A and B are shown apart, each in its own frame.
Chain A
Amino acid sequence: MSSTVRTPEEIAARVKALESMLIESGVMTTQAIDRMVEIYENEVGPQLGAQVVVRAWTDPAFKARLVADASEACKELGISGLQGEDMVVVENTEAVHNVIVCTLCSCYPWPVLGLPPNWYKDPQYRAAITREPRKVLRESFGFTVPDDVEVRVWDSSSEMRYWVLPQRPAGTEGWSDEQLLALVTRDAMIGVGPVGAVA
């Protein structure tokens, strides 16, 4: 067994290399691994993004800083790291709904959203969301954006990673942070789903 101390980059690369080798040799499929990851993915990322969203909903000064410089504002909450260096938050309003994609690969703001879901990396999503965003949201995600709201699609790259600040739902005045946190889903921060329903 290896006794060498590895840097985080080295060990992440080793895991990536092992996964490629196992997939190439047919030992397992990427879908099988993704399914397993999906069960746990809420434990590695989106809850951090949700904390940022709730803070923005409850603290207008923080929200202003977040929209001005997301990476810096996230650092205030102790959130930073690989692939989070150049994050830009796009804010949903009554008039504009935002969606993120990476048209070339799978650039994604890991520190706030965790691992990208499998479909985010799918060439079909990457092409279709750019061509017919409103239709893809409705047909593939069951999410209807009202016709009087403009849909904007933002292309993340390794130089600039977007994510979506959803609107705080009506009827949540006076809610605790815990209650609000439960409303913020990963899909809402990608822009392919609504925030949770207000009971």
Chain B
Amino acid sequence: MLPAPYADPVDQVAARDRITDLVCDLPEASPEQLSFEHPWEIRAFAMAVSAHRELGFDWTAFQQALITSISGWEERTGTSDRGWSYYEHWLAALESVLADLGLLSTDELGRQTRDVLAVPANRNHHEAHTEPIAVDPARRTHH
């Protein structure tokens, strides 16, 4: 028997409300418009919220790191929004907070990132399977 695939919907609403409270004080983010264009963005988002919950660091530290990353980018690029990625700053802020806590070496992260890039996705699974791998046939019910 597999574990229940879903959390209790009531818990989910409560969890979401707590996240909304966290997010509404962040620069450039409004909780109604939390949107994700790529799978990595939601992963980065979830990691920061989980890290805050697990480690209990002050959320304002994350907020401040996010402001720093965004303003640094604005200084570098002027007013143009070319290359803007909110979650890239989010990731940079998370890295910075974790590094300040002594929990992350960004050099090591750079090395591991290169390792990930060097391994093609699903390297063992390149064959197309064109037929069903299992069939549970229809049965006539007898009375």
Q: Do A and B come together as binding partners?
A: yes
Interface residues of A (CB under 8 A from B): 1-3, 5-6, 8-22, 25, 27-28, 32-41, 43-45, 83, 86, 95, 98, 101-105, 107, 110, 114-115, 117-119, 122, 124-125, 128-134, 136, 139-141, 147-160, 187, 192
On whether the beta carbons of A17 and B125 are closer than 8 Å, the reply is: no
Of the residues A141, A153, A157, contact of B126 by C-beta under 8 Å: A157
Interface residues of B (CB under 8 A from A): 1-3, 5-7, 12, 15-16, 19, 34-47, 49-51, 53-55, 68-69, 72, 76, 83, 85, 88, 91-92, 94-96, 98, 103-104, 108-109, 112-113, 115-117, 121-122, 124-130, 132-141
Of the residues B50, B55, B98, contact of A36 by C-beta under 8 Å: B50
Of the residues B91, B109, B133, contact of A154 by C-beta under 8 Å: B133
A39 to B121, CA, bound (A): 26
Of the residues A15, A43, A117, contact of B36 by C-beta under 8 Å: A43
Give me 26 A-to-B residue pairs in the complex whose CB atoms sit less than 8 angstroms apart, sorted by A's number: A1-B96, A9-B117, A12-B40, A21-B112, A22-B51, A27-B51, A27-B54, A35-B15, A36-B19, A38-B7, A40-B34, A43-B42, A44-B38, A44-B42, A45-B39, A86-B128, A95-B138, A102-B125, A104-B122, A115-B43, A124-B2, A140-B2, A141-B5, A147-B138, A148-B140, A156-B129
Of the residues A32, A40, A119, A152, contact of B2 by C-beta under 8 Å: A119
On whether the beta carbons of B136 and A157 are closer than 8 Å, the reply is: no
A21 to B117, CA, bound (A): 15
Of the residues A17, A98, A153, contact of B116 by C-beta under 8 Å: A17
On whether the beta carbons of B5 and A119 are closer than 8 Å, the reply is: yes
On whether the beta carbons of A17 and B112 are closer than 8 Å, the reply is: yes
Contacting residues, chain A, for B83 (C-beta < 8 A): 5
